[in-house]
Amino acid sequence: MRNIDNRKYVIALIFIMIPLIFVVRLFYMQVVDDKWKERAAQISENKVITYPARGIVYDRNGQKLISNEVYYDIRVIPKQMDEDVDSVSLAKLLDISLEEYTKKMNKARDYSYRKSSEVVRQIPPDEFADIGPEMYKYPGFFEVERTLRIYPKPIAAHVLGYMSEVDSSDIKRDAYYKSGDMIGKSGIEKSYEQVLRGEKGVKYYLQDAIGIETDRYEDGAYDTIAQQGKSVTLTIDADLQEYGEELMRNKRGSIVVLEPSSGEVLTMISSPTYDPNLLVGRRLGQNYGELAQDTLLPLLNRSANSTYPPGSTFKTLMALIAMQEGVITEEASFPCTKSLVGCHNHPTARGVSDGVKMSCNPYFYYVTRKIIQQGKNKSHFADAAIGLDIWAEYLHSFGLGEDMKTDFPAMRYGFIPNTDFYDNEFPSKSNPYGKFGWAYSTIYSNSIGQGEVLVSPLEMANIACVMANRGHFYYPHFVKEIEDGDVPSVYTTKRKTKVEPKYFDPVVDGMWRVVHEPGGTARRARVDSLDICGKTGTAENFKMYNGKRHQLIDHSIFIAFAPKDDPKIAVSVYIENSGFGGTWAAPIASLLIEQYLTGEIKDTIKENRILEADLMPIRYQKKK
């Protein structure tokens, strides 16, 4: 019997072992493993994201450029739906086809019975006015407010940019974004995305077994309120922008207007343009497609993403560099040797001011040759290489071909060729000129702004600023004020060119005479008492058709600033394929300057001529 009495220990052992196993298991489930806590949250909590209104964008005078409007998304929780929901009338109410409705409902059920899915998104307020009162008939369906952009004035589309749904790379890059969120895709919306987007809010609800929210989780202790995005005040002058866009109607090209004393962008126009309200919400997809197919490329931001040859405007810089290098003086005179490079008929240029005024091509051929071929090396070729790099360095100090850190996405900057370029890359990488394979005679076209040099419209406006400031500039920028933030110091730092202010006087004098004196190339730009200084240019351009190079009508270029003393505005105007710079670009620039400085246009004949001009090349005219 002793043997059998021992069995009590076996039983006691079982009674202890099993609870012990349970305790270990409980410790693992409750303390060690987080899996069940996550599962519990998934089951019992409903995280509702509240979307912040995006920051408002103002112009420099406090006019709203971008504002918000409330739109409505319709969502559904399948589990809460009536079983005999009238799909036909619901689809009709929501203005979608029955097939689409069925598709959405299947997708919603596949995703989750208890969590909500989107049925229709971004219903404009006027349409929702009809839907809202009917919603009570459809349990499980509810509306969520979301704000979308509205543009009070249909201007500055390229500057402001547009918004669209995030793509997978956005989500990967920044955990803030979830599928279906909106993000700034271009322009200011993109460059100030972080400022404008605000902070999403989260509300945690407890939901019961059929997915109905019952209580706030922990009485809302973990909830956050959506924070509206910060507002941004731009340097843009909405009135000037609007006027410029009016002037540019039926013309292709770009305008950039800067304030010389600050580098602030007052206006940036790319024409043709479009109404930014077209690319909002549900309209975005279709309208974007239509704009993208337009042969006039309205979506292309010519001001920011195109570069052109600078044409004759470049001559002003050649004169400045040559004087600073000491290879010419203010009084230098060169003959108009048309055999070197073509020219128009004009009196001999006696001095830099004359040269700029008459825009004599041979004059600047000689000036630039003096910069490039300074005789620093006995070899003509080696000498050109030294000279070209000196020349390029000066041009970089004017901001040309440099990253000027402008607060604009995908900003394209120009190109200044240097020795390395001609040694290794031009005319082609496989067959370049090679070291000592070129001299000034090879590359002289650059002296008159043709050849390989390229500039952007923004850089050209900046050159006008440099002239206005007699030798310094600020990096062009769009931001004037950020709510609760600072404008980066990179925009308030004064940048000096390598040319001393004293050398600017004859060049600026020449630019004044371009507009004001008989024989000047831009007399159409003259406005009494405004002392506009400018320089015309025409840029040859080619387009490849069927492998052949076709010369197109020249681009008309004009850079200007005003008034001559104490300048307030600097402008660059490019009118594509419109011919000589003085004909179209100069009067457009002068109208902008006059409007900005005086608030009115006195010469309505000049204004009407521009407003009525249709300079769209026939070839590109949109098919009706």
* Contact status: 208 vs another protein (CB under 8 A): yes
Closer to another protein by Cβ: residue 213 or 452? 213
Of residues 613, 563, 604, 560, the one with CA closest to residue 584: 613
Closer to another protein by Cβ: residue 28 or 542? 28
Of residues 417, 455, 404, the one with CA closest to residue 559: 455
Q: How many angstroms separate the Cα of 187 from the Cα of each of 156, 157, 297, 412?
A: 10, 8, 16, 13
Closer to another protein by Cβ: residue 114 or 498? 114
Closer to another protein by Cβ: residue 26 or 49? 26
Integer Cα distance of 249 and 614 in angstroms: 8
Pairing type for strands 569-575 and 479-482 reads: unpaired
* Contact status: 206 vs another protein (CB under 8 A): yes
The entry of Zn ion, another protein, none that residue 175 binds, CB within 5 to 8 Å by partner kind = none
Site string for another protein, 36-75 (x = CB under 8 A): xx-xxx-xxx------------------------------
Is 283 in a helix, a strand, or coil?
A: helix
The entry of Zn ion, another protein, none that residue 12 binds, CB within 5 to 8 Å by partner kind = another protein
Integer Cα distance of 132 and 128 in angstroms: 6
**Encoding tokens for residue 528?**
């009494």
* Contact status: 23 vs another protein (CB under 8 A): yes
Of residues 534, 530, 536, the one with CA closest to residue 566: 530
* Contact status: 217 vs another protein (CB under 8 A): yes
DSSP-derived secondary structure for 207-234: E-TTS-EEEEGGGGTT-B--BPPPPEEE
Of residues 265, 158, 267, the one with CA closest to residue 591: 267
Closer to another protein by Cβ: residue 8 or 494? 8
* Contact status: 448 vs Zn ion (CB under 5 A): no
Integer Cα distance of 492 and 487 in angstroms: 8
Q: How far is the CB of 78 from another protein (least distance, A)?
A: 13
The entry of Zn ion, another protein, none that residue 336 binds, CB within 5 to 8 Å by partner kind = Zn ion
Q: How far is the CB of 210 from another protein (least distance, A)?
A: 9
Closer to another protein by Cβ: residue 214 or 424? 214
* Contact status: 367 vs Zn ion (CB under 5 A): no
Q: How far is the CB of 77 from another protein (least distance, A)?
A: 15
* Contact status: 21 vs another protein (CB under 8 A): yes
CB contact at 8 A, 582 and 524: yes
Residues 319-358 that bind Zn ion (CB under 5 A): 336, 343
Tokens 């497609």 -> residue: 289
Helices 585-598, 238-247: crossing angle, 10 deg rounding:
150
Closer to Zn ion by Cβ: residue 306 or 521? 521
Is 395 in a helix, a strand, or coil?
A: helix
The entry of another protein, Zn ion, none that residue 207 binds, CB within 5 to 8 Å by partner kind = another protein
207, 273, 359, 446: which one binds another protein (CB under 8 A): 207
Of residues 358, 350, 348, 357, the one with CA closest to residue 330: 350
Where along the sequence are the contacts to another protein (CB under 8 A)?
1, 4, 7-8, 10-12, 14-16, 18-23, 25-27, 29-31, 33, 35-37, 39-41, 43-45, 206-209, 214-215, 217
